[in-house]
Amino acid sequence: MAEVLADTAPAATRLAPAQLAALRVGDRLPPLQLPPVSRLTLALYCGASGDHNPIHVDSDFARGAGQADVFAHGMLSMAWLGRLLTDWVPQQALRRFEVRFAAITHVGEAIRCTGEVADIVVEQGERRARLLLQTTNEAGQIKLQGEAVVAIG
């Protein structure tokens, strides 16, 4: 079971306060590279999330709905971006997080999560970074795009 949940991401890359203070527009978050999406991953996510829509785990149902096969939950991709963020800053630093689903993530695709600092502002007396986020497959196709705002000092 451990190999199913393992990934190729480096150890947590949480920034120290001095590193947060030195952030600039254009800086990139360390990417999170995930292993190929498997049917087991989808089944485990169904159980964890409570989203048991059969289109994600039942091939016959998915084909009957016009899909080639089952595919990943959109919220699973959002969770991966959330992990990218909380590997970088503590969860309590998150001020806003939103995404737009761009394309279906298919079984077998290896997803890469990335982010870049788009803006640094002071809001409500707090220094914050606005981040542009996305997930892509190994061919570079964008699956999910989003933004987050995190407190950085």
Is residue 52 included in any domain, yes or no? no
Q: In what order do the strands lie in the sheet with 94-101?
A: 32-36, 110-123, 126-136, 142-151, 94-101
pLDDT for the residue numbered 6? 40
CATH, residue 139: 3.10.129.10
pLDDT for the residue numbered 12? 57
pLDDT higher than 50, residue 90: yes
Is residue 60 included in any domain, yes or no? no
Looking at the structure of the chain, the number of domains it has is 1
Express each pLDDT in 6-61 by its tens digit: 444 444 578 888 888 889 999 999 999 999 999 999 999 888 988 888 888 889 99
Domain of 104, in residue numbers? 17-37+72-151
Is residue 107 included in any domain, yes or no? yes
Coil vs helix vs strand at 67:
coil
Is residue 12 included in any domain, yes or no? no
Is residue 4 included in any domain, yes or no? no
DSSP code, position 140: -
Q: What is the pTM of this model?
A: 0.86
Express each pLDDT in 96-142 by its tens digit: 999 999 999 999 999 999 999 999 999 999 999 999 999 999 999 99
